[in-house]
Structure 1
Amino acid sequence: MKIIQSEKNTAGKFTAFINETEVGHITYSWSGPQKLTILHTEVHSEFGGQGIGKKLVLHIAEFARKSKSKIKPMCTYAKAVFDKTPEIQDVLG
Structure 2
Amino acid sequence: MSDVINNRNHHRFELEAEGHLATEHYKLDGKFITFEHTDVPKELGGKGIGSKLVQGALDQVRAAGLKVIPECQFVKAWIEKHPDYADLVTR
TM-score over 0.5 for the pair: yes
The aligned length equals 89
The CA distance in 2 between the partners of 1:16 and 1:55, in whole Å, is 8
Aligned partner of 1:22 among 13, 20, 23: 20
Unpaired runs of at least 5, structure 2:
none
Q: Which residue of 2 aligns with 1:54?
A: 51
Structure with a larger share of its residues in helix = 2
* Counterpart amino acid of residue 6 in structure 1: N
Question: Which stretches of structure 1, 4 residues or longer, exceed 4 Å deviation after superposition?
Answer: none
* Conservation of the 8 A alpha-carbon contact between 1:15 and 1:22: no
Structure with a larger share of its residues in strand = 1
The answer to whether 1:90 aligns with 2:91 is no
Over aligned residues, Cα RMSD in angstroms? 1.4
Deviation of 1:14 (Å): 1.0
Cα deviations by residue, 1:26-72 (Å, 9 ceiling, x for unpaired)? 010113x2100000001100110011111111111111111000001
Q: How does 1:36-75 map to 2 (within 5 A)?
A: 36-75=33-72
* Conservation of the 8 A alpha-carbon contact between 1:15 and 1:26: yes
Give aligned-pair identity as a percent: 29
Q: Which residue of 2 aligns with 1:5?
A: 6
TM-score (norm 1): 0.86
TM-score (norm 2): 0.88
